[in-house]
């Protein structure tokens, strides 16, 4: 990517305003992915926000960032990219179907970080099209963390010649659930408060209905964070965590976590405690 395609932002964009812009400009989008990259330089983590995030996601508070925390820094930039008129897909209705994070090394809470986000892999899917929102986080010039979020736009069409979407996350047998989580109906609001992800589908039954969901649904990245929080002290130093978000997790719900050691890391699944409906399956492997 040419250097002139990178736009450096001085401060994180306002997420509520981005959601509003994205909703108002949803119609009539088309075309290919923009080549724009958005970046921020010398970002430091706010200690209060980190403590709140750790509490909501079940991570211990310490001097190392939770493996999902850099997403808090990158997501607002990805939102800015997706809400921009040049982005070919309408943000309302995009469904997060897969998320991969590589923790290259543990990141200290006091480190100065450089972020860069971009969109790529516009792909066709049996029920629409997918796009990947990527992020790279560096410290002192070396990449320490990267992520890839795959979003599905139902009914959308990828450009001619687009590759097939890759949304499969395969896990081994996960028959033994190790924990039961009672997830309260305000889980979406609590995560929104620390993440700034105020997507209405997570906030209340009423706002979720407006977007076609029968009840509010949990943030996928929160469920992923809870899985990693449950394994926090048993994770490799450097690892890749790849999860597929299956059926929406409606709030409130009682779900189970199943884990099994696999490939030097873990396989995990989050399922509805009664019906067994799969909400998340994931793999954690050493890098």
**Where along the sequence are the contacts to another protein (CB under 8 A)?**
47-48, 51-52, 55, 60-63, 109-110, 232-233
Element (H, E) at 103: strand 94-103
Q: Closest distance between another protein and the C-beta of residue 98, in Å? A: 29
| Closer of 42 and 48 to another protein (Cβ) | 48
Q: How far is the CB of 89 from another protein (least distance, A)?
A: 38
> Smallest gap, in angstroms, from Cβ of residue 234 to another protein?
8
Is residue 155 classed exposed, middle or buried when 0-12, 13-18 and 19+ CB atoms within 10 A define those classes? exposed
| Whether 85 contacts 123, CB under 8 Å | no
Distance in Å, CB of 157 to another protein, minimum: 47
Length of the chain: 287
Q: Which is nearer to another protein, 232 or 260 (CB)?
A: 232
The Cα–Cα gap between 138 and 136 comes to 7
Closest to another protein by CB, 111 or 186 = 111
Q: Quote the CA–CA distance of 182 and 44 in Å, as a whole number.
A: 33
Least distance (Å) from another protein to the CB of residue 51? Answer: 3
Instruction: List the helix and strand counts (H, then E) for the chain.
Output: 6, 11
If DSSP states are collapsed to H, E and C, what string results for 108-147?
ECCCCEEEEEEEEEEEEECCEEEEEEEEEEEECCEEEEEE
**At its nearest, how many Å lie between another protein and the CB of residue 61?**
4
Residue number with CB closer to another protein (111 or 143): 111
Q: Which is nearer to another protein, 193 or 232 (CB)?
A: 232
Q: Which is nearer to another protein, 9 or 260 (CB)?
A: 260
Contact between 149 and 98 (Cβ < 8 Å)? yes
Q: Which of 30, 37, 24 is nearest to 122 (CA)?
A: 30
């Amino acid at each position: 990517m040419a250097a002139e395609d990178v736009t450096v932002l001085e401060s994180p964009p306002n997420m509520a305003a981005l959601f509003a812009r994205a909703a108002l400009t949803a119609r009539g989008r088309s075309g290919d992915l923009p080549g724009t990259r958005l970046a921020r330089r010398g970002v430091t983590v706010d200690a209060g926000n980190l403590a709140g995030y750790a509490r909501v996601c079940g991570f211990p508070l310490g001097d190392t960032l939770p493996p999902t925390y850099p997403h808090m820094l990158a997501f607002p930039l990805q939102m800015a990219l997706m809400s921009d008129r040049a982005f070919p897909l309408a943000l309302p209705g995009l469904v997060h179907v897969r998320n991969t994070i590589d923790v290259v090394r543990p990141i200290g809470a006091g480190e100065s970080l450089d972020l860069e986000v971009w969109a790529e892999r516009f792909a066709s899917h049996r029920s629409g099209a997918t796009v990947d929102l990527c992020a790279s986080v560096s410290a002192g010039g070396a990449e320490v963390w990267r992520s890839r979020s795959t979003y599905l736009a139902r009914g959308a069409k990828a450009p001619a010649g687009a590759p097939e979407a890759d949304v499969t996350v395969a896990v081994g047998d996960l028959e033994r659930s190790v924990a039961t989580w009672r997830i309260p109906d305000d889980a979406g609001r609590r995560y929104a408060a620390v993440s700034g992800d105020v997507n209405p589908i997570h906030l209340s039954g009423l706002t979720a209905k407006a977007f076609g969901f029968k009840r509010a649904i949990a943030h996928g990245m929160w469920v992923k964070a809870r899985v990693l929080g449950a394994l926090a002290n048993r994770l490799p130093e450097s690892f890749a965590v790849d999860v597929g978000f299956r059926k929406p997790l409606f709030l409130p719900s009682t779900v189970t976590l199943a884990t099994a050691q696999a490939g030097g890391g873990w396989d995990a699944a989050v399922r509805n405690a009664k019906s067994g409906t799969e909400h998340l399956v994931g793999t954690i492997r050493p890098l």
